[in-house]
């Protein structure tokens, strides 16, 4: 295995390689036009906004990467992975928002109706597995 720098002059220890083929990209000041090409390629590959067909067209037309069956499947897989990550992030965000709303409702009942946290959670029918978490959040 040998190291080849296309842009910049970075040396990496061979012990750090854990793949048959490794690509290490150290972003910094561009030394020539290739730098922008690498960033564009990464932008296309890692985009969660771009559809697989768009990515394939750009890879083929702008970067002269022939679309084989295997590569097409890999691009499709990458697009599905980014969608999965986005959906998981949305779920977590919605869960956090729901928890924040529940916590605010508990606080409102405690302040306006002079209830204890337990009483407020009883009224709101908060699940028993969430009560400890909310109690801890309220005590901060």
pLDDT higher than threshold 90 for residue 117:
yes
For 39-74, give the DSSP string.
HHHHHHHH-SSS-HHHHHHHHHHTT-----HHHHHH
pLDDT tens digit string along 35-79?
577 778 877 887 777 888 898 899 899 888 888 898 888 888 877
Regarding pTM above 0.75, the answer is: no
pLDDT tens digit string along 8-19?
677 777 776 655
The number of C-alpha atoms within 13 Å of 70 and in the hemisphere containing its C-beta is 1
């Amino acid at each position: 295995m040998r190291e080849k720098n296309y842009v910049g002059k970075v040396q990496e220890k061979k012990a750090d390689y854990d793949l048959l083929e490794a690509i290490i990209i150290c972003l910094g000041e561009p030394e020539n036009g290739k730098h922008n090409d690498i960033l564009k390629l990464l932008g296309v590959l890692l985009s969660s906004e771009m559809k697989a067909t768009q990515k394939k067209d750009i890879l083929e037309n702008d970067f002269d990467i022939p679309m084989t069956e295997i590569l097409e499947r890999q691009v499709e897989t990458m697009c599905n992975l980014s969608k999965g990550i986005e959906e998981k992030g949305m779920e977590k965000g919605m869960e956090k928002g729901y928890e924040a709303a529940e916590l605010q409702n508990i606080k409102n009942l405690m302040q306006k109706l002079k209830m204890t946290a337990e009483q407020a959670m009883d009224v709101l029918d908060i699940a028993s597995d969430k009560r400890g978490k909310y109690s801890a959040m309220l005590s901060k």
